[in-house]
Structure formats: C-alpha cells, structure tokens
Structure 1
C-alpha cells in the first residue's frame, strides 16, 4: 500500500453565452458544415466582457468542492494560459474568493496539457505529505486572445473551467491516480504562440501589431504532433501502470478536434466507443477540456466506479502528458448550459 492522491470530487462551469457555428458563419467566411466536418464542433461558450478566467475557475471549484462534500483544501493548483493578469498568479485570488486564503496556491502554464501537469503536481505533493487535500482547476478564456477575423481559431476555441478535488489515500482505493507521463519539446515552441506580452516582446515596448497580440497556431503541424505525442505518452503510461489497451474503459483526451481524438485512439488500438468527447458542445476549452469532458461523461453515466480511465493532453510548448485513474463513486452536478436534459432543476 502506497500513499496516493485519490479523486474525491469533480465539477465544471462554462459561461452562459453560446456561439453556434451558424452565428460564426454569419460573421465570418465560414459555415456550420465547414466547421463541423473539420473539427466535430457545433458550438462553444464564450465569456462576456468583464468576465475573467478566475470567475470561471471559482464556479467550477465550488462545484468540485460540493461534489467532494468539503469546503477545505490545503493546496490549489490552477492550470491556465489566460490568467487574470500577467502578474500575480491567479490561483491565490481564486483561493481567497473560495474562503481559502492562506493555503498554498499557484498557477501552471502548459496550455492544453495544463490540467494533466497540474494534476501531476498536486498528486506529487499529496504523495509526499505536503498536502492532505488539493483542488486542481483547469480554466481558460481563450476568446479574449483570439483574432476576431481569424475564422479558424474562433471556430475551435471556447471558454470554460473544470476542477477536481484530490485527497490523500492509498493506491488501492477507487479513485487513486496511479501514474503519469509528462514531456515537452521546446524546439517546436513556435507552433502555438502568443508572441507579445512577455519579456521577449513586451507589450509595453511600443506599438504592438495585432498579429503579435493574438493567439496563433500552425494547424497542420499541430495536428501531426498532437497525434504523435499523445499516442506515445499514453503508450508509455500504459507500460508504467501495467495496463493493456484492451483493458481501458474510457479514454479522455484533450478535446481539440474529433479527428485527433479518433486518430490517437486508433494508434493505441482502442475501441472508438471508449473515447469520451464533448467538444461538439463546448469546443476546445484548453486547460479546462479534460475535466469538462470528465464532468460531462460522469453526468451522462459514461463513467462508472471501477472503470480504468486514461487521460492525455497535448499543448503549446510543446507539452504533453497522460494520467491513469481507476474511477471512483462520486456525485457530479450537471451543467444546465451543456446538458439541460440532465439538470435536476428541469
């Protein structure tokens, strides 16, 4: 028996404003058919002006804490690439708004791999006895850094937040996080970028061109690397935890593109029916995508206690990572904006 982080709660949140493919089609030179055929996405949620990443993170965190039946944690790790401010980190402000002022809190910036990185950091701290209970949040408001005229990125990305509560337990318990694989490749850092705003190109050093202020992505190269890196990472993870591909009950990859999800599953020899996907309703929510996909699957009964679940993500940096969990028995609240048919208030 080994001390391990155990998944004890799960929650998510997306802003209420929905932008459909048809709405984008009326604004840009695109259509529902074009977007859906290439990405699998039909709609996404975006924040209204004045709503920040911390606002979404707090909402998701509250739901995760309620799911875990607690209002106290020792640690908050927030994965985001769209913090409220370049400085300071956003996690301490989230902690304060949750009534947890004084706990350890920090941000992790690994773009779409961020949630897996944050999960690994919190799990390691629990494993080493530095925390007994942790809140891990993935939250991003990518709509705030997209070029309004770029139909490709605007079609892909949405805003949202997802969170989990981890508690100290042992590796034989349901919900135990059993292993990780993490990696990076800075030689390809130019594939996914926001050029301006850091020390390399400060936004305050004179006029900044729009192209430098907005998120940019080289799509074809990102697609190739996403499939390669997530496949390799998941394979390494399976060897680490001693699982065979046919033993995987649910495969939850970063929700970037439905073709990427299926390509990775095919590379691993997984039945496509194991693939969890909710990007059709929320788009690519960056660091929030994996926990939001978990929340959606749990609400719909696609995740049941005892299942072997593999998570994998890929993002800018380049970064990638995977994690293995045996699913626990936890209660999860449906989100009315994503699946009103499951919401108890209806």
Structure 2
C-alpha cells in the first residue's frame, strides 16, 4: 500500500530579525554570523503568538490547498510546545475545529518532520487513517539566551511552521504536486544526548525543576558542542543518504533535488558535495529563516513546489540530523503535478 504526501504550506511570523538587529544586543556582527552559518535573517514571533498558533496558520493553508479534505488525525512535531503539557497536537486540533480526532506529538527535534512523516505514511498505508495532517512548528525566540553569553546558539534559530497532508488515496491534482515516499531510514543514538540539549526545565532536576540558580547559570537555555555536532551532522546525513540510495539502487544522478534540514549552509554544502549533488540542486532557506528545527523540511518543500519545475518521476532526497542524536533520510517521488 502507498501513501501520498501533498499540500505543503508554510507560515513565518512577520517580524524579521536581521543579523544587524542581533548585533545591537550582543557582541556579534552580520559578517561573523554569515561566515559561520549562512544566515542573514530569521523570524521571531511577537506576543502572544505561540507555537500552536504558527502550526495552525500553516495548517490552514494546507487544508485550503487540498480542497477541503478533512484530516482524521494530526501529528505535530516540535521541541518548543506552548506548555510543558499538554503537547501542541490537541491545541492545533481545537483551534482548527477538528473535534475528537487523535493528535500525536513527536519530540525528535530537527529530525521531527521525517519521524512524523514516517509515522503518518505507515498509518495511512495500512488505511488505519485516511488523511493525516503533519505539521512541524517552533517558537525558539522566547527560549534563547539573547546575550553575548548565548550568542553561539542564539544566532542560529528562528520561528516558523510547515505542514502537509499524508493521504491513503491519491488526492485531486488541484492539490499541487503529489509525492509518495519511496523509502526511508531513521536512526538515533542517545550516547550523545548531552552534546545538544536544553537541560532544564526537566524532571531530572531535584528537588524542584527550576531555581534562580539554574536561570543565573543559563541552564534553562540550549547548549551545544558545536564542533562535535557539526562533524556528526555531516557524517550521519551523508551516511544515511548513501545507505538509502544504495538499497534503492539509486545514485546522485537520480535525485532531482535535495531538501536537507536547515542547520548551517556549510553542513548542507558538505553533505551535497560528498553525495556528489550539485549546489544548484540543493534547496536552502536558512539564509532567510534560520534553523526552525522541525519546520525546516516542510518549509523547504513549500518553496520547492513554488520555485522548482517538478515532473512526475522526479525524486527528492531529504535528510536531517539533530538533538538526541537523531537523524534520517527519505526519498520522495513526484507522482503527479
């Protein structure tokens, strides 16, 4: 049985934060940020906008594009939920007016969208569900240390959302390009969990989850061993992509476009170069939006369907790496346009 992926959409909050804006509040510069990350600007929400609000805004576009197909389940991927609990899935369900349908929450950070599609594709292929709304959304801006102390991480992230519908039956072609998952491969390795994490607020801290000291020591903000993460990201994204292509008897020449997770343009360039995929076939959005973790790949797809001429049979490779460590790759094929 097959599953069909379609109606990609994105929503970015209107507030643009440039590198020069960040340079006004921390010791950094546009040149420093662009050289190390490739990022020129990102979007930040303004109060009272939440992660679920971004998810709903993107999802409404998806549901409009698909011609009114009603989802019978939701899978939401985020590392920045509105609240500690419940997850954003039920909030998206309520705000969209979809009473009583199941809402799953995925916590796989930068790999979250691939994990969500893996689950949605399996459930729809079995015809357990007919149409699953998949959405990745993040609000990073309220959880960053926007000072010189936190600049190495703070300059990387932005807010945004991307969504699509995964269906058990081929939808009307008015939904735009329709894809199917050719194959996928996902991995994780908790040995490296502490090299890219946000330590608090969590139940591992005793006797209470948050104290004044934790805030003063910046332990409530994300931390990362940048060198190790960079090396592992390149290694694992190349490794899993090679493995996936090989077992499906494909080469780089079979790939029309690669839509990688958007963490760093240097990572994406190295991955593409090692895979022997020309830069012209790499979809990058990080210069405009920064790293929106679970939203980067669906945002990339939404740009691809608008900006790239796709034909039936074209294959798209997506790969991601993130906190956990988690990583994976998927090959999508255009079945109609």
TM bucket, shorter chain? over 0.9
* 1:296 and 2:300 correspond: no
* 1:230 and 2:237 correspond: yes
**Distance change >3 Å, CA 29–CA 305, structure 1 → 2:** farther
Which of 248, 252, 258 is residue 265 of structure 2 equivalent to?
A: 258
Which residue is 1:187 aligned to?
A: 191
Deviations 1:7-28 (A, max 9, x none): 1211100111000011111221
Cα offset, 1:214, TM superposition: 0.6
Deviations 1:139-175 (A, max 9, x none): 01111211121222221100000001111138xx951
The 3-state SS of whatever aligns with 2:247 is helix
Instruction: Tell me the distance in 2 between the aligned counterparts of 1:153 and 1:9.
Output: 32
Instruction: Tell me the distance in 2 between the aligned counterparts of 1:259 and 1:206.
Output: 37
Deviations 1:109-149 (A, max 9, x none): 01100000001011111112211111111101111211121
Q: Which runs of 5+ in 1 are unaligned?
A: 331-346
Deviations 1:16-45 (A, max 9, x none): 100001111122111111111111110000
Which of 201, 207, 210 is residue 212 of structure 2 equivalent to?
A: 207
Which residue is 2:95 aligned to?
A: 97
- Counting matched residue pairs gives 326
Which TM-score applies when normalising by structure 2?
0.92
What do you get for the CA RMSD once the two structures are aligned?
A: 1.7
Deviations 1:68-97 (A, max 9, x none): 112411111001000111111210110111
Instruction: Tell me the distance in 2 between the aligned counterparts of 1:71 and 1:98.
Output: 13
Which residue is 1:198 aligned to?
A: 202
Which TM-score applies when normalising by structure 1?
0.90
- Match runs of 1:20-99 below 5 Å: 20-99=18-97
The 8 Å contact of residues 241 and 324 in structure 1, kept in 2 or not, is answered as: no
Runs of 4+ more than 4 Å apart: 302-305
Which residue is 2:174 aligned to?
A: none
Which of 145, 148, 156 is residue 146 of structure 2 equivalent to?
A: 148
Q: Which moved more, 1:221-230 or 1:124-133?
A: 124-133
Deviations 1:255-314 (A, max 9, x none): 011000011111212122111101111011110001111112222235454321011111
Cα offset, 1:206, TM superposition: 4.0
**Distance change >3 Å, CA 224–CA 130, structure 1 → 2:** same
